[in-house]
Amino acid sequence: MAESPNIVGHLREVVVAVVLVVIAILVVMAVVVRVLLLLLFSWVVIVMAVVMVVLVMAWVKVVLMMMITVGEKMIAKVILVMRMVVRRVGKKHKTYLSLKDEEDKKEE
């Protein structure tokens, strides 16, 4: 039972990472829409819009790098949680393979 808080903690980290990625995507979409509206409404703001686009592209690159890092960590956390669950289930219930191994040992 000592492992259950760890599983909850890892799941919480995975959920937080997913929420952060979704928020980052929504912010990028909002900035892109604003830039498009500026381009449509005024030709005077083209220079500002181009600067914003360049800044957004740089920011998107940073966000993508963060997402890759978060994705790697998230995959590692999911694998860790799956291992913990498999170990707990394996301790409580004998799996088919372990029962088969025991039968093989008895036959020898």
- State pLDDT tens for residues 50-62: 777 788 888 778 8
Comparing 44 with 74, the larger pLDDT belongs to 74
Mean pLDDT, residues 2-7 taken together:
58
Q: Does residue 27 register a pLDDT over 70? A: yes
Number of domains in the chain: 1
Q: Does residue 86 register a pLDDT over 70? A: yes
Structural domain harbouring 18: 4-107
Q: Does residue 12 register a pLDDT over 80? A: no
Q: What is the DSSP string of the chain?
A: -TTHHHHHHHHHHHHHHHHHHHHHHHHHHHHHHHHHHHHHH-STTHHHHHHHHHHHHHHHHHHHHHHHHHHHHHHHHHHHHHHHHHHHHHHHS--HHHHHHHHHHHH-
